[in-house]
């Protein structure tokens, strides 16, 4: 059976990727599944650069077809921050909770109509021969005034997607997988994978 390595150990992401690709004749494996313990540096200047870096790093170690994703939250009122720094926004030892708290504090007193934001995701498909395809997805929304909901991960409790009145953490996977930045990028990537003959 064909195999594809997802350059991530984030269980939330792997679950979303598996759900969107669906039942296919291809084995989808995480870094944990293949025992990858190497260090992946994410020091690129953009989300796209980081996705390619992550994918190349894993592909060069395991020598197999690799799918990497990098994503981040870009908040209008603070010039697109945290962007490429989304994971480590609150400094060393950053946690989702601390990142959310820092962002809410920065947006304190900013009215709802000025709390626009977007999640951006770039997927990079890397072949062992070095061929690279990328696909991008953007999901617009706004930042809530407090964390609400217990589903999802990361900034989900404070992100309300356009067209909804609840956060991703309230809406849950079913809706998120239809509209998220990752769903949009992965849908485009799915088409690339179909035209490459990797899946049906």
Residues that are catalytic: 70
Nearer to ligand IMP, 138 or 194 (CB): 138
Contact assessment for residue 75 and residue 148, using Cβ atoms and an 8 Å cutoff:
no
For binding to ligand IMP (CB under 6 A), which residues are involved? 10, 70-73, 86-87, 96, 99, 119, 152-156, 168, 180, 182
The distance of closest approach from Cβ of residue 25 to ligand IMP in the complex, given in angstroms and rounded to an integer, is 27
Cis-peptide into 82, omega within 30 deg: yes
Residue pair 152/173 in contact (Cβ under 8 Å)? The answer is yes
Least distance from C-beta 45 to ligand IMP, angstroms?
Answer: 14
CB of 200 to ligand IMP, least distance (A): 27
Cβ proximity to ligand IMP: between 4 and 6 the closer is 6
Q: Looking at 124-180, list the stretches that DSSP marks H as alpha helix, in order from N- to C-terminal side.
A: 168-179
Using the minimum distance from each CB to ligand IMP, give the nearer residue, 59 or 124.
Answer: 124
| Angstrom distances, CA of residue 62 to CA of 59, 69, 128 | 5, 17, 9
């Amino acid at each position: 059976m064909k195999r594809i390595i997802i350059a991530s150990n984030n269980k939330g992401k792997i679950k979303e990727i598996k759900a969107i690709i669906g039942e296919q004749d291809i084995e989808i494996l995480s870094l944990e599944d293949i025992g990858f313990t190497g260090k992946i540096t994410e020091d690129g200047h953009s989300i796209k650069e980081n996705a390619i870096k992550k994918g190349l790093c894993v592909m060069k170690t395991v020598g197999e077809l690799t799918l990497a994703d990098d994503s981040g939250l870009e908040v209008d009122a603070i010039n697109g921050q945290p962007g490429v720094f989304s994971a480590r926004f609150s400094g060393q030892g950053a946690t989702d909770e601390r990142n959310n708290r820092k962002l809410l504090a920065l947006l304190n007193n900013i009215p709802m109509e000025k709390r626009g934001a977007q999640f951006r995701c770039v997927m990079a498909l890397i072949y062992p021969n070095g061929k690279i395809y990328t696909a991008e997805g953007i999901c617009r929304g706004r930042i809530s005034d407090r964390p609400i909901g217990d589903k999802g991960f990361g900034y989900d409790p404070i992100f309300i997607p356009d067209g909804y009145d609840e956060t991703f953490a309230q809406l849950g996977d079913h809706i998120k997988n239809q509209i998220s930045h990752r769903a949009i990028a992965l849908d485009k990537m799915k088409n690339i994978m179909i035209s490459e003959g990797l899946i049906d």
